């Protein structure tokens, strides 16, 4: 089988390419050039392309670079800024997976005659008895990335290989060391590749959208602090709110963009019985009954059911079995049964 392996310049994708090569596949590596600006995160820099190319050379496979910078700006960076301006907290890595890594790349791979694409994600793809596919958790629960892959539909799942999903991170590094790959001890990259540690999120967004100062009030409406930009505030946030020290922890429980007001409260004020969502998509058809719901990339799950709207199947309400922290609008809400992803959606107000 001809397999196009997305090589980020990290250890996971390096070992993914090596495993596929050793299984006898015709493997070609590709590194995506996504961000044309400065990057120091370890996934979009020039050094990462060089690391991927040198690993490919070590493995004896061809290596190419695909430039999707325009598509990345259109589908990831632009919406990231627009979401913040609208008071949402986006997941840029998920949108990159949705539009670039498992859409644009797959289309390019088809055109070039590849049978499948592969990545170094810590997750698995399982085929069910009825022939449908699902994303499942990887063997290393601490590194599991099934949450960010919930956007894969049946067509993409059928053409995707995740070679390291059965391995722990330590096992991946051990294999890389045994192959004398330069990425064996390379640190993992941070999530948002287009925001540098030096400039930070505030500077990045301030160059692209208006930032509005706001006041911070308690649940009774009394002013207790201030923020430099309400667009940078998210539900559940505790720091950077201008609150006096020596008091009980307070968290953001609401952000009103129309009045530039941030409301803070105690942990119990974050708890809700239901969470509305949109962009609901099932892995292989709607699931009845209880599900386990994960609301952050490496968070725990909580039991819930999903109440759908017949008139609009893309919208639904997650009904928590026990009161749960409100999810920031824009964040992904991923549904599991056991280790398998059965669906996913985006939190709304």
Contact by Cβ (8 Å): 251, 265: yes
**Could you tell me the two tokens for 311?**
């008139």
Higher model confidence: residue 245 or residue 271? 271
Q: What is the model's pTM?
A: 0.93
Contact by Cβ (8 Å): 61, 21: yes
Concerning whether 93 is annotated as a catalytic residue, the answer is: no
Of the candidates 43, 44, 93, 96, the residue annotated as catalytic is 96
Q: What is the pLDDT of residue 311?
A: 85
Of the candidates 43, 44, 93, 193, the residue annotated as catalytic is 193
Judging by beta carbons within 10 Å of its beta carbon (0-12, 13-18, 19+), is residue 209 exposed, middle or buried?
Answer: middle
Measured distance CA(291)–CA(309) in Å, rounded: 17
pLDDT in tens, 127-159: 999 999 999 999 999 999 999 999 999 999 999
**Domains by residue range for the chain, with CATH:** 2-178 (3.40.50.620), 211-265 (2.30.30.280), 271-347 (2.40.30.10)
Concerning whether 43 is annotated as a catalytic residue, the answer is: no
Measured distance CA(90)–CA(309) in Å, rounded: 24
Q: CB 71: neighbour CB atoms within 10 A?
A: 17
DSSP summary character for residue 222: -
Residue % of the chain over a pLDDT of 90: 87
């Amino acid at each position: 089988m001809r397999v196009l392996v997305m090589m980020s310049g990290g250890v996971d994708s390096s070992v993914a390419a090596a495993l596929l090569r050793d299984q006898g596949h015709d493997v070609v590596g590709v590194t995506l050039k996504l961000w044309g600006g400065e990057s120091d995160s370890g996934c979009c820099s020039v050094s990462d392309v060089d690391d991927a190319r040198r690993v490919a050379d070590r493995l004896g496979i061809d290596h190419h670079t695909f430039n999707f910078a325009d598509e990345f700006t259109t589908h990831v960076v632009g919406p990231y800024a627009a979401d913040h301006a609208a008071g949402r907290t986006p997941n840029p890595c998920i949108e990159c997976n949705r539009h670039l890594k498992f859409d644009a790349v797959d289309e390019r791979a088809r055109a070039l005659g590849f049978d499948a694409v592969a990545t170094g994600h810590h997750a698995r793809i399982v085929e069910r008895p009825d022939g449908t596919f699902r994303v499942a958790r990887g063997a290393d629960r601490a590194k599991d990335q099934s949450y960010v892959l919930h956007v894969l539909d049946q067509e993409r799942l059928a053409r995707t290989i995740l070679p390291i999903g059965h391995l722990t991170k330590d096992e991946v590094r051990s294999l890389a060391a045994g192959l004398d790959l330069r990425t064996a001890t390379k640190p993992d990259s941070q999530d948002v590749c287009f925001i540098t540690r030096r400039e930070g999120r505030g500077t990045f967004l301030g160059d692209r959208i208006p930032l509005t100062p706001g006041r911070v009030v308690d649940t009774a409406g009394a002013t207790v602090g201030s923020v430099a930009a309400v667009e940078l505030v998210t539900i559940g946030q505790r720091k950077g709110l201008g609150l006096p020290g020596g008091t009980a922890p307070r968290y953001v429980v609401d952000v009103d963009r129309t009045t530039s007001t941030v409301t803070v409260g105690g942990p119990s004020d974050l708890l809700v019985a239901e969470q509305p969502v949109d962009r609901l998509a099932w892995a292989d058809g709607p699931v009845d009954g209880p599900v386990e719901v994960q609301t952050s990339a490496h968070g725990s799950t909580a039991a819930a059911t999903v109440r759908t709207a017949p008139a609009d199947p893309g919208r639904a309400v997650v009904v928590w079995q026990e009161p749960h922290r409100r999810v920031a609008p824009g964040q992904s809400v991923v549904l599991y049964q056991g280790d398998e992803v059965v669906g996913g959606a985006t939190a709304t107000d």
